[in-house]
Every structure is written in structure tokens, then in C-alpha cells.
Structure 1
Amino acid sequence: MLTRKQHELICFIADRLAETGVSPSFEEMKDALDLKSKSGVHRLISALEEREFIRRLPNRARALEVLRMPERGDAKPAGRTRTTDASTSSTSRSISAGSTPPSPANDVVEIPLHGRIAAGTPIEALEGGTMLPVPAALLGSGEHYALEVAGDSMVEAGILDGDYALIRRTETARDGEIIVALIDDAEATLKYFRKEGAMIRLDPANRSYDAQRYRPDQVRVQGKLAGLLRRY
């Protein structure tokens, strides 16, 4: 069951999407719900995401999708939107009653393709201006980029030579996560991340390769694996 503010917010978002096709800004949501700060909006959005009422569309500004609507009951939407004609009003009522809102116009996003990364021994991390189109469903929240895999040391994790590794940018990692590690600020590699005493161990997923051990100051986490794209 949603709280009153959560209920008001999802109704406000659905009505705005029906009216304009664009989700409202956080400032507009704050004003509509009479909240003191946008941090309150962030908390409400996160709660609705966790309950799978909405989802954020990655790599698109102000992009929210309503997955399902609650029963409105006695709660009223934060009604600062205005309809301009009868057809708009009818569409707004239809979505509010629980039908599926229009699908996003663009379900493919483009993320930077930063060259090739070794899944065997490290190679130089390349930067490039090429963009790679990726289905939005493969990406979660956050900023992403892609790297083309070169080598076979991660084959036992299902990562093959020529695959595109979809990487979410982050500077931290937990044991067992597959990361992009930048070594000595010069070379990048895709490996499992492990802490081994005072050292960082980068493990392959191929028994033909040995683990690599480095001092913590030699390794910088550049992101962690979010998905794979493979061409056939």
C-alpha cells in the first residue's frame, strides 16, 4: 500500500505523461506535492521504484515510465496540471484508472564505446568518440559506457572475445564483482575483483590464466559489469 504522498506523486506523473508525453521535473514534483525540498521527491521516487510502480529510463533526462497504477481511492493527484481539451482529459483519466501509459518513444540509447579491453592480459585503455546503440532494458540506473572484449580469460563467466561489455561507472567494488580495473593509470582489464590481505587480486574466469595481484594504489576501479551485448 502506498502512502498518500506516494499516491499523489504517481498520479501527478501519470497525468503529466498523458498530457505532454514528458515526465515532470523534480522541481515541478516538489511544488505539486508542497514538499520543502527535492530530496523528498527523490525518496518518493525511490520508494515507487522499489514497489515497481515506476522505473527510471537510463541515459535520458527527466525520463520516468509508469509501470502500473494503484487504485486512486480517496487520494487526489497533486493537481497542478491542466488539460487543454476533452481528448487530453480523457487520456489522463484512462491512465489514472490503471491502464498502461504510452510506451517511451525511444527504447534504444547510445552509450560511449571506449575501444577494446583485454579479458586476458591488460592492454592500454582506449578512449574514442564512437557511440554504441544499446537496448535501454539492458541498462540500469547510472552512467554507462561500453568496451569491446579482446581475449578469452573470462570465457567461464560467459564473456567472449568480441562481446561488448556494458559497464556502469563506479569507483568502488565488492568482492566477487566483475570490474574494469585501471592498472598503474595506463592499462585496463576486465576481471573479478577480490581483496586478499593488503593486496588487490584480479581473477580471470579461465583456468588457463593466473590471478593478478597488485597493491591498492596500483588499481583504480573504473566501473563494473552491467550487461553484455553480443553479435551473431
Structure 2
Amino acid sequence: MGKKKIDAITPAQTEALEALCRFADEKGYPPTVMELSAILGISQASAYDRINQLVSKGYLRREDCKARGLTVTNRTGEIAMELVPVPIIGAVAAGQPIFAEENFTGEVLVDSQKVRSGRHFALHVSGKSMIGAGIDDGDLVIVRQQALAENGDIVVALLNDDATVKRLKILDGLVELIPENENMKPIQVAPEDDIKILGKVVGWTNNNQNSRARKRTAQE
């Protein structure tokens, strides 16, 4: 059976498709509607319309069985990347489920290969303590929810009710949360401290294209 012919797209739609694919190739994750609108210099409504037009013409596909998952196709209609939504969490606090509905502030589309197993969430970070690892102020980290982590993992930890993104160091029974910034000191976790690992960071996307007014919750 031959490949199904897909409709031609306008220059504006081509620009949107190329921007989306270029962003995904560079960052490992596709842009949000807000990011795409900023890249193209158009309104969010216009960016959303272009995505819908690309879906209707066969350049983007929605997988009904995968909770609004999208498949990005190239111009020959061959599958290039399958995208699935990951919820963006607006707040994390002790005693409150991460995935409580009231915590959701949106979602980001992520390459399904990056989130193949487990449950994932996304979180905006604040500060430059992880700049050495490539995570900058305002970036969006993709986190696999898990209560345990290994030495050297970058984790989201809840320390005395404050969420932080740091590299985990475990040595001789002592735990430290290590920043990737030579101007900042490690956080030594004392026996009386209440620490909980919320998840392991499995990737991140640069957020320079986003408005800095968006709420950030993981303090660095």
C-alpha cells in the first residue's frame, strides 16, 4: 500500500512546522503553544490554530488511545517523533499529592521516548544553582516520579517543605544536595531534616522563549 498523500500547507504553516521540529530536535522536547507563539512572533491563538491546521492536513497526528498524544510527521508523511502530554505542576508541598488536579497549570508535549516508563510531571525552576548542568532559571524540567534515587542523580527533592532541584550525593550514610554552580554551597541534610525525593530529572527544555511572569515553584 502506498503512502497516503497529505495536503499542501501554506508558508505560515510551513514556518510553524519547521519551528516546532527545529525546537524539538535541539531541545529534545517540542515547544509549548506559548513558546511557539514567541518563536514565530504571533499570538498564542494563532499558534494554536496553525497546530490544528497541521493536524487536519496530516503533518501532525493525534493518537486517540494516548490521551491527546501527538505524532509529528515530516513532509513525506513519515513519522518523525511521537509526542505525549506531560502535566506542568504549579506547586509541590508536603502531605499533598503531586498529581492533585488543583496543582496542574498546563502541559508540555514531550517525545514519548523520553517518558517511556513511569509517571512524569514537569516543573519550572527558579534560580541558577544548576546552570553547570545546563538547567537555567525558568527552564522546565521533566521529572519521573519516584521515591528513591541513586548517587549522582539530578532530583526534585522536598526538603523541610521546600522543593529544590539538585544533584543527589550519598556518601557514608550522609546526604547532600549539590548545586551545579561553583558560587553556591552544597546543602547538607541533617538527621533532623525532613527530606523526600519526589522524582528524578530525566530531561529539561530551555524556557527562554517563555514569559518570565509564569509561576515558578522549585526553588534553587
User: Taking structure 2 as the reference length, what is the TM-score of the superposition?
Assistant: 0.50
1:188 lines up with 2:159 in the alignment: no
Cα distance, 1:221 vs. partner? 0.6
Q: Deviations over 1:68-97 (max 9, x none)?
A: xxxxxxxxxxxxxxxxxxxxxxxxxxxxxx
Residue of structure 1 equivalent to 2:151: 175
Aligned length: 127
SS of the residue 2:200 aligns to: strand
CA RMSD of aligned residues (A): 3.2
Deviation at 1:130, TM superposition (A): 1.9
Q: Is the 8 A contact 2:88 2:108 kept in 1?
A: no
2:137 corresponds to 1:161: yes
Q: Provide the rounded CA distance (Å) in 1 between the counterparts of 2:109 and 2:201.
A: 14
Alpha-carbon distance in 1 for matches of 2:185, 2:91: 21
- For residue 107 of structure 2, what is the amino acid of its counterpart? L
- The reply on whether 1:128 has 2:103 as its aligned counterpart is yes
Whole-angstrom distance in 2 between the partners of 1:228 and 1:212: 22
After TM superposition, the structure 1 = structure 2 runs for residues 26-37 of structure 1, keeping only pairs within 5 Å, are none
Which is worse superposed, 139-148 or 152-161?
A: 139-148
Counterparts of 1:12-31 in structure 2, within 5 Å, are: none
Residue equivalent to 1:150: 126
**Is 2:173 the partner of 1:198?**
yes
How do 1:1-232 and structure 2 match up within 5 A? 60=66, 107-115=82-90, 128-135=103-110, 136-184=112-160, 186-215=161-190, 218-231=194-207, 232=209
Q: Which has the higher strand share?
A: 2
**Alpha-carbon distance between aligned partners in 2 of 1:140 and 1:230, rounded to the nearest angstrom:** 21
Higher relative contact order (CA 8 A, sep 6+): 2
Q: Percent sequence identity over matched residues?
A: 31
Offset of residue 103 of structure 1: 5.0
Normalised TM-score (structure 1)? 0.48
Tell me how far 1:137 sits from its aligned partner: 3.6
Segments of structure 2 that go 5 or more residues without pairing to the other structure are 1-62, 70-77, 93-97, 210-220
* Bigger Rg over Cα: 1
Residue-by-residue CA offset, 1:158-187 (whole Å, 9 max, x unaligned): 001111000000111111000011112x11
Measure the CA separation in 1 of the matches of 2:122 and 2:199: 10
State whether residues 91 and 103 of structure 2, in contact with CA within 8 Å, keep that contact through their aligned partners in structure 1.
no
SS in 2 for 1:156: helix
Secondary structure of 2:132's match?
A: helix
Q: Note if contact 2:135-2:206 (Cα within 8 Å) is conserved in structure 1.
A: no
Aligned to 2:22: none
Specify whether residues 115 and 222 from structure 1 end up closer, same or farther in structure 2 by C-alpha distance, changes over 3 A only. Answer: same
